[in-house]
Amino acid sequence: MGLSLTVRSARVDDVAQMACVHVRCWQETYRGLMSDAVLDDPGLPATREQFWAAALTDERYRGSRAAVAEREGKLVGIAMSGPPLDAAAAWARQLYVLYVQAADHGRGAGRALLQAVIDPAESATLWVADPNPRAQAFYRKHGFVADGTAQVEVGVREIRMVRDVQAPSPVW
């Protein structure tokens, strides 16, 4: 059954497929949380394509890491992390994007993408839609905890989750 999963750094020639995955995942995830006018906007794929082209080529994203997950040459997931947007933040990384198409949920792509863009030894933060119990459970499983901070972005309520990394226990 398992078609092999490949996770690798995103490349400029992935931009069009990344934009398609991004839009599809928004439609699957945010329908009912975000306005249909935004989700069904015919210009949304082009806007996401411009974002990914900039994210992979523009100097201001030089501290970012972007990865894709593919099965049989088709992208099924995308992820990107970078320095925290809040310069005073106590975390090493911020997860900006992690989407896996619904048809691929539970098959390892999310975990592999998360590890590709944030080292398990790095402290990190992210914002996740609320309610979004599946995504929140995924992040909890990977050591993230809601810290009580919330915001509304594009009409969607989000909560912040953080993962502090404990120093390794000394070996005596």
Render pLDDT for 11-57 as a digit per residue (tens, 0 to 9).
Answer: 999 999 999 999 999 999 999 988 899 999 999 999 999 999 999 99
Residue 19 maps to a domain:
yes
CATH assignment at residue 10: 3.40.630.30
The confidence score (pLDDT) of residue 154 equals 79
Residue 171 maps to a domain:
no
Each residue's pLDDT tens digit, 86-113: 878 889 999 999 999 999 999 999 999 9
Query: Are the C-beta atoms of 113 and 70 separated by less than 8 Å?
Result: no
The confidence score (pLDDT) of residue 97 equals 97
Strands (E), 72-144: 74-82, 93-100, 124-129
Residue 33 maps to a domain:
yes
- The proportion of the chain whose per-residue pLDDT surpasses 70, expressed as a percent, equals 95
Residue 168 maps to a domain:
no
Each residue's pLDDT tens digit, 109-145: 999 999 999 998 899 999 999 999 999 999 999 999 9
Residue 170 maps to a domain:
no
Residue 172 maps to a domain:
no
Which residues constitute the domain of residue 91? Answer: 5-163
* Count of domains forming the chain: 1
Burial of residue 59 (CB within 10 Å: 0-12, 13-18, 19+) is exposed
Residue 59 maps to a domain:
yes
The confidence score (pLDDT) of residue 1 equals 44
Residue 169 maps to a domain:
no
